Amino acid sequence: MTATSRLSLPIHQLTEAASIAIAQRIEYQDISTPLTESPIATAYVHHGKEHHGKQPLGKKSQGKSPMLLLHGFDSSVFEFRRLLPLLTQGETWAIDLLGFGFTERSPQLPVNPAAIKAHLYACWKTLIDEPVVLIGASMGGAAAIDFALTYPEAVKQLVLIDSAGFSAGFPLSKLITQPIGKWATAFLRNLKVRQNISLKAYYDASFASADALKCAALHLDRANWQQSLISFTQSGGYRSFKTRLAEIRQPTLILWGAQDRILGIQDAERLHQAIPQSQLVWIPQCGHVPHLEQPQITAAHILEFAR
């Protein structure tokens, strides 16, 4: 595979303009990491000035800090199809985390938070290499907290959208343990199951459309999807960071859907109280995914915060 290449997807199966647009922009970059001898073909979407690998020294973006978006559990960059085009202040990146989305999976590489963080740092160093506004949604919020605590020099500001990371674990992780790992992942592959999860994620059920289901399922046929998901859940996934949240020094924006039925609403205030320089904004008439259900409001809050 070349250093940079386009990802070919069945775009004809998509109907929403935002879904088609992001599908056409997904690229692969070979990312060298300490995890494997060979680079990892990593899927990402980039909005902003033309990009062909890391900018030469002294040619980094001027003015506005780049934004880097991290998706949730068993998701992909498709999760940001409506939000990404609205974050127009400068360069914006969305990356498929190790073990998820369309990023290459190896059956020999365990998927756990430490490996995800090492891969993410290599992506940041290769593609961006300057402090970012780090935006994490759901499980991506836990990944963002972990990254900001380990690499504070890489994160200028932090945005957490209905974020995991305060309470221990993630609900689905508890279901997928041996000896039922393969059964549980087969259960999660079922489109009716995924549709029911989607219905629960939204406040307005009309958002759980056929196009949304296709966006949430396109990555399921990628090689080693099942093995990676089992590996991640058996690692325990992201545990609680509540004893370390006071160490976060970056200004932090917490956005939370007022009707979140996936993680509930209690952790929103808990995160706000635990993170020193944080502000909490409730998104009304919204479930677990404000970036999909209320993208204009979500983008406006992020842009204002980033200024």
- The residues annotated as belonging to the active site are 138, 260, 288
Picking from 40, 35, 59, 49, the residue whose alpha carbon sits closest to that of residue 1 is 40
Query: Residue 181 belongs to what H/E stretch?
Result: helix 181-189
Percent helix, strand and coil across the chain, each to the nearest 5: 40, 15, 45
> Parallel, antiparallel, or unpaired: how do β-strands 27-31 and 40-47 relate?
antiparallel
Helix axes 225-234, 181-189, angle to 10 degrees: 120
Cα separation of 100 and 94, whole Å?
13
What are 257's two structure tokens?
């859907």
Cα separation of 49 and 14, whole Å?
27
Cα 131 to the chain's mean position, in Å?
A: 18
> How many other β-carbons are positioned within 10 Å of the β-carbon of residue 62?
6
Radius of gyration of the chain (CA): 18
Q: How far is CA 225 from CA 142, 176, 215, 231, 290, in A?
A: 21, 14, 16, 10, 26
Q: Is 223 exposed, middle or buried (0-12, 13-18, 19+ CB in 10 A)?
A: exposed
